[in-house]
Amino acid sequence: MASAATEVLNQIQTDGYGTTGGNLFRGNERPADDDIPINAVFVVPGAAAVAPEAVSGDMAAIAYGPIQVVIRNHIFDDAQTKAINIYKALAAADFSGTIGHTMEQGYPVYLGEDTQRVYRFTINLTLIQNAADLNPVSISWFNPTLWMFYLDE
């Protein structure tokens, strides 16, 4: 599996809700300028991978997230419609290299508008990977009794 945020970004692009580098970006939300449009989507990586919440029987799983997707637009209805469509697409997605994912809210959350009347919504999700599928080179150790460890993305 590519990094969890990259998987989400690729899914949004595949579903037709953005073009990487055009109006779809990986990383923190950034102000509009010549390279970043007002009407944009940002996929913000989660900080850590968490293990024990997704253990089923003898299978340990790693949860990546939450990954935040921020949708912004200068027209409220357009921002809301795009957020709902992205939410539905991500909820139905089959992310490669995962055994599932969870949507952290039941609906996109309205964050409000900024001083320039740009409307913002957020979606948070977590991708879950079977620990047995991890590339042993990508982590230096794994102890399923630990609650959290950091991975290189």
The pLDDT tens digits for 85-110 are: 999 999 999 888 778 888 988 899 99
Q: Is 31 helix (H, G, I), strand (E, B) or coil?
A: coil
Q: How confident is the model at residue 59 (pLDDT cuts 50, 70, 90)?
A: low
For 48, counting Cβ atoms within 10 Å of its Cβ (0-12 exposed, 13-18 middle, 19+ buried), the class is middle
- At residue 62, the pLDDT reads 75
The percent of residues above 90 in pLDDT, for the chain, comes to 48
Contact 68, 122 (CB under 8 A): yes
Residues with Cβ within 8 Å of 11's Cβ and at least 6 positions away in sequence, in order, are 89, 90, 93, 95
Whether 50 shows a pLDDT value over 60: the answer reads: no
- At residue 70, the pLDDT reads 96
Q: What is the DSSP letter of 48?
A: -
Q: Is 121 helix (H, G, I), strand (E, B) or coil?
A: strand
* Phi and psi torsions of 95, nearest 5°: -75, 130
